[in-house]
């Protein structure tokens, strides 16, 4: 498996590609990627994002006629004004012109438009030779960091395969975690349209969900017509179930893992969706605390079998 990699940093008002700095012998200054010498974990230093607007009270920039959507639209993508990366490798995706809608409110055609746009932008960004990985994701609700309420997601295009995705691609992990029978009958939440969704047996988050096509597909652009419509319908259903769980919109984090765009074969790649809801009870968030961050071991207060049963009921 080959990995195409460039690390881009901004210096002196220009953007250039440079080798990743040695974490021990160099002392990087200014924005850009850094590697922690103790853990080896990558971090992007992006002080410019401190200037992002937070929950504007007047004039949504994502509504038609707003700053980021001057013309009418059905779905729309555009470069993020406050990107974590240089060279336009971060985008916003607007799901609907309706400010107060949620993904659960979208009709099948509108949800399919969102899936098609995810696939289109994944292919376009992944075609850039400086890009090795495309992450499609959403933060829903101010509780998980969404600064604008209008329904939207984001796309980040990484210069290397990020650790979370790379770890899943190692050896037989994808087959064990996503292959036939991986979910177990009692953990399945729903299955339809060529997709299935289940609560992971070792879920980190209460009511956490994994979803994947029944027949392995490597990435969003590779989904056929049936697979795209199936994903659209599944997302509408899953978000609706989560919202009905506590009779309130569920704050969550959602992301897709797909085949890297670095030119490697990646035979174990299997497109899938992670959905991490924040609440463990009505208006009660699940906090990640020191015992977990300090140990790397997670403690989930909701049994995955109970979570799956609840989600099937609502």
Which residues are the active-site residues? Answer: 152
Residue 259: half-sphere exposure toward Cβ, Cα within 13 Å: 23
Sign of the torsion formed by the C-alpha atoms of 105, 109, 115 and 117: negative
Task: Report the distance separating Cα 297 and Cα 313, nearest Å.
Answer: 30
Cβ burial of 109 (10 Å; 0-12, 13-18, 19+) is exposed
Q: Three-state SS string across 24-86, please?
A: CCCCCCCCEEEECCCCCCEEEECHHHHHCCCCCCCCCCCCCCECCECCCCCCEEEECCCCCCC
Name the maximum alpha-carbon separation found in the chain.
57
DSSP 160: S
Q: Which two tokens stand for residue 247?
A: 């009779």
CA atoms within 13 A on the CB side of 306: 8
């Amino acid at each position: 498996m080959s990995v195409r990699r460039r690390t881009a940093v901004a210096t002196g008002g220009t953007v250039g590609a440079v080798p990743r700095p040695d974490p021990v012998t160099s002392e990087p200054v200014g924005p850009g990627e850094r590697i922690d010498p103790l853990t080896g974990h990558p971090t992007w230093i992006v002080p410019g994002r401190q200037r992002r607007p937070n929950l504007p009270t007047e004039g949504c920039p994502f509504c038609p006629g707003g700053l980021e959507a001057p013309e009418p639209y059905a779905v729309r993508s555009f470069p993020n004004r406050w990107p974590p990366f240089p060279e336009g490798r971060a985008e916003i995706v607007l799901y609907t012109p309706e400010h107060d809608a949620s993904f659960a409110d979208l009709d099948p055609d509108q949800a399919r438009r969102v899936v098609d746009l995810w696939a289109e932008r994944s292919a376009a960004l992944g075609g850039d030779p400086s890009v090795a990985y495309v992450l499609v994701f959403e933060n829903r609700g101010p509780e998980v960091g969404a600064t604008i309420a209008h329904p939207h997601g984001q796309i980040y295009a990484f210069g290397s395969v990020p650790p979370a995705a790379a770890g899943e691609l190692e050896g037989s992990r994808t087959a064990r975690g996503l292959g036939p029978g991986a979910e177990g009958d009692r953990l399945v939440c729903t299955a339809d349209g060529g997709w299935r969704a289940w609560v992971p047996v070792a879920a980190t988050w209460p009511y956490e969900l994994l979803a994947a096509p029944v027949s392995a597909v490597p990435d969003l652009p590779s989904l056929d017509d049936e697979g795209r419509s199936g994903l659209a319908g599944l997302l509408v259903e899953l978000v609706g179930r989560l919202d009905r769980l506590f009779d309130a919109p569920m704050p969550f984090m959602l992301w897709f893992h797909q085949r890297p765009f670095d030119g490697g074969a990646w035979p174990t790649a299997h497109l899938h969706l992670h959905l991490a809801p924040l609440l463990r009870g009505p208006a009660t968030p699940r906090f990640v605390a020191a015992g977990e961050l300090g140990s790397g071991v997670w403690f989930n207060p909701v049994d995955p079998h109970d979570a799956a049963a609840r989600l099937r009921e609502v």
